[in-house]
Structure 1
Amino acid sequence: MRAETHGQLYGDVLYFYTEYREGFAHSEMWHPLYFWFYFVFMNALWIIIPSILLLDAWRHLSAAQRALDSVKAKRH
């Protein structure tokens, strides 16, 4: 997994958290377009997509480890 994915995920979590801590002072709270679409939806994509990539990488790494373990078990 590339470091950019981890960095993007970390940065977006910090972005949401700092806005929450400041009481959403930089946006029109609850506005359908500015808050829900731009702030929540568009930024949530940058949390959802890296999370999916991390889970996919985890799945592939786990499958590769299981395959390696089964080959080692057959040798002994």
Structure 2
Amino acid sequence: MDELTNQIALLRAGRQISQTELAEAIGVSRKTISTVETGRFTPSVVIALKLAQFFAVPVEQIFSLNSNE
């Protein structure tokens, strides 16, 4: 099964912003950021694109797909 990993925590740390600040900036709840960051929730394309736009990086720099085969 494939696993989606992300670099959101690292990107947030680089900007020195909290989950709450990021959530407010892209129009989602802090819980959404938390669950995406920890891999418990796979974000919609809209959320992924908003994150990429916020951090000014390609989506692939935030998210990657790892195969567990």
TM-score, length-scaled by structure 1: 0.31
By relative contact order (CA 8 Å, sep 6+), the higher-ranking structure is: 2
The structure whose residues are more often strand, as a share, is 2
Larger Rg: 1
TM-score, length-scaled by structure 2: 0.33
